[in-house]
Amino acid sequence: MSKPTILITGCTKGSIGYSLAKQFAAQDYHVFATTRNIASMDDLSTIPNITLLPLDITSRDSVLSVHSIIAQQTGGRLDILYHNAGYRSLGMAIESSVDEAYKMFNTNLFGIILLNSVFSDMVIKTKGKIVITGSVSGYTPHPSQAVYNSSKAAVELYAKTLRMEMKPFGVKVLFVITAGVKTGMSSARLTLSENSNYRYLEGKINKAWEELEGDAMSPSVYARQVVAKVVKTSPPEEIWCGSGATTVWIIETLGIRWAYNIFFSRLFGLNAMAPSFEKEKKRK
């Protein structure tokens, strides 16, 4: 192919990946847009420069199959490998299941590791770029998503290490620290069991998420801002984007992380003792 090429994971309609695919195609890249179910992004097929491929990033057989297809079409070269697929579900830390935690880490971290092990040869040939969609959740202790926060924190350290290890081959590793973006993933709400210790806070927590989502950036605006930086000859190693990204950057830069505890504990209603414990305290 004469055009630069890019593989993007997680391109379901309405997602960040969907908007990224359209934006890179507009920048004259040939885009291999992937997701588990092609039907969830089938309208991308009408856009020039976009090829749709089914890909389950947690399946080695699926990853190898896509590698073979792209290698045949590009002569074994890939300019950008863009890790965007992700999985998020809500749950209080002490009430989260191991199975659900595995699903999040399998998609958010292990899938990235698998793709890099298979596609790195193609990116090395072009001295290209590996881009990873990170999250401010890797910094911020948002209540009700402790496992998701942990998976994103793990991804960041992996990306930083990968950056050093790929430098000898001329491959750039970019980490996109993503804040509020209005997608299907961001619209998730918490559902607690009747015997949950936090049952009394379910409404408060969901209201907090609604407030945070209300200020979120649209995926199309996010994609324009991110792609403009990714395609540069000398792109920044870290790209902060999304509603609230600047605030988190300032907190991290100044080292005033105590501000997270004050803000989130109040927003999510965790600044006061649970009613049942308060009653017990009064009886004593």
| Edge-to-edge strands, sheet with 238-241 | 50-54, 30-35, 5-8, 80-83, 129-135, 172-178, 238-241
Of the residues 152, 158, 172, 182, only one is catalytic, namely 152
Q: What is the CA radius of gyration of the chain?
A: 20
Q: CA–CA distance from 179 to each of 95, 131, 194, 212, 242 (Å)? A: 25, 16, 32, 10, 4
Query: What's the one-letter identity of residue 272?
Result: A
The Cα 254–Cα 246 span in angstroms is 12
148 is catalytic: yes
152 is catalytic: yes
Of the residues 29, 82, 139, 148, only one is catalytic, namely 148
What tokens appear for 70 in the block? 């792209």
CB atoms within 10 A of CB 107: 20
The Cα 250–Cα 273 span in angstroms is 30
The Cα 130–Cα 124 span in angstroms is 10
Three-state secondary structure of 50-117: EEEEECCCCCHHHHHHHHHHHHHHHCCCCCEEEECCCCCCCECHHHCCHHHHHHHHHHHHHHHHHHHH
Query: What's the one-letter identity of residue 45?
Result: S
CB atoms within 10 A of CB 213: 17
Active site residues: 148, 152
